[in-house]
């Protein structure tokens, strides 16, 4: 047999093996039984990551980009909807945070929605803006949310219910430990009057018995009017407030202007809407917040 024939036979054999290999690979993919759990934004992702820890064939994805802060009037994008494709479950904060839910459920009627804020007593926002949705910033509420997510996943996915519950209990124990540490410090504060950057902290303030005497911006992307700025400065002076808390996700220019006009000092307090995409992130951010509170209020 000449070389030309040998090369022809080798090429045919290579094609046959390649087709066979591709067929096997397609068969593997089609038989894959992975469950995809999508989350609406960062704090829901961190909680769900802990609840699904070490469960085979469970994949947790975050719908929005890590740079996204609170979902105030968030306009869902085609890329966000593509992120939800293939997901069986969608974990949301609820309490009105995800204003885009009608669009999601309209396009994906089979997507199972898990509401993390079920049963949480909500605080009214200032004015006529409805309920304040920033429930997770309170560590007590975060614990309720974790339990809600674990319980609802256990019902929807009974095959993995036992592991969901085990992980839920383990994570709640960690959160309870951090909560105790924070109360041991904050319960002794004498100075409790604070100014916040926007309305992310009412639940946090309620948790630690802090008194929010003023809010710089009702919405983080809005600017206070000249009158609102003047009123805040006058209130700080009259109440002798020493602390303004800003958030790392937004510029602090307005807060710094207020600080210059008063004797107040600016500190960074994190509402846990962005950060490292790892399971310990919420607790680590709360540890950092505790150090900030100690420095600002002790």
Q: What is the DSSP string of 111-164?
A: PEEEETTTTPPPEEPSTT--EE--GGGSHHHHHHHHHHHHHHHHHH-GGGHHHH
Domain boundary among 183, 199, 228: 183
Residue 216 belongs to some domain of the structure = yes
Domain containing 125 equals 35-183
List, for residues 216-248, the tens digit of each pLDDT value. 876 666 677 888 888 889 988 988 899 999 998
Q: Are 66 and 274 in contact (CB under 8 A)?
A: yes
Q: How many domains does the chain have?
A: 2
Q: Phi first, then psi: give them for residue 37, nearest 5 degrees.
A: -110, 120
Residue 32 has pLDDT above 60, yes or no: no
What is the CATH number for 43? Answer: 3.40.50.1980
Provide the 10 A C-beta neighbour count for residue 132. Answer: 20
| Cα angle for residues 113, 119, 122 (degrees, 5° grid) | 105
Claim to verify: residue 77 and residue 204 sit in the same structural domain: no
Distances (CA, A) of 21 to 7, 16, 28: 21, 9, 11
Residue 3 has pLDDT above 70, yes or no: no
Claim to verify: residue 290 and residue 164 sit in the same structural domain: no
Tell if the pTM clears 0.75, that is, is over it.
yes
Residue 25 has pLDDT above 60, yes or no: no
Q: Are 39 and 60 in contact (CB under 8 A)?
A: yes
Claim to verify: residue 293 and residue 209 sit in the same structural domain: yes
List, for residues 150-193, the tens digit of each pLDDT value. 999 999 999 999 999 999 999 999 999 999 999 999 999 998 99
């Amino acid at each position: 047999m000449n070389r030309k024939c040998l090369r022809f036979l080798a090429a045919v054999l290579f094609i046959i093996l390649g087709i066979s290999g591709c067929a096997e690979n397609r068969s593997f993919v089609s038989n894959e039984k992975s469950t995809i759990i999508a989350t609406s934004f960062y704090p829901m992702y961190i909680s769900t990551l802990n609840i699904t820890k070490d469960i085979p064939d469970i994949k947790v994805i975050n719908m929005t980009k890590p740079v996204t802060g609170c979902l105030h009037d968030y306009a869902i994008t085609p890329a966000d909807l593509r992120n939800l494709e293939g997901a069986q479950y969608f974990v949301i904060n609820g309490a009105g945070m995800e204003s885009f839910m009608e669009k999601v459920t309209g396009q994906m009627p089979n997507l199972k929605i898990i509401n993390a804020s079920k049963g949480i007593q909500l605080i009214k926002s200032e004015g006529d803006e409805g309920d304040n949705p920033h429930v997770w910033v309170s560590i007590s509420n975060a614990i309720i949310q974790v339990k809600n997510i674990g319980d609802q996943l256990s019902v929807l996915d009974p095959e993995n219910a036992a592991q969901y519950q085990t992980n839920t209990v383990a994570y709640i124990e960690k959160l309870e430990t951090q909560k105790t540490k924070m109360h041991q410090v904050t319960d002794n504060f004498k100075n409790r009057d604070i100014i916040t950057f926007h309305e992310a902290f009412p639940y946090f303030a309620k948790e630690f018995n802090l008194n929010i005497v003023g809010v710089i911006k009702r919405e983080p992307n809005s600017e206070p009017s000249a009158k609102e700025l003047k009123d805040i400065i006058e209130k700080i002076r009259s109440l002798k407030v020493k602390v303004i808390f800003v958030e790392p996700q937004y510029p602090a220019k307005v807060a710094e202007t207020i600080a210059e006009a008063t004797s107040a000092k600016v500190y960074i307090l994190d509402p846990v809407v962005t950060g490292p995409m790892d399971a310990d992130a919420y607790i680590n951010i709360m540890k950092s917040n505790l150090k900030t509170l100690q420095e600002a209020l002790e």
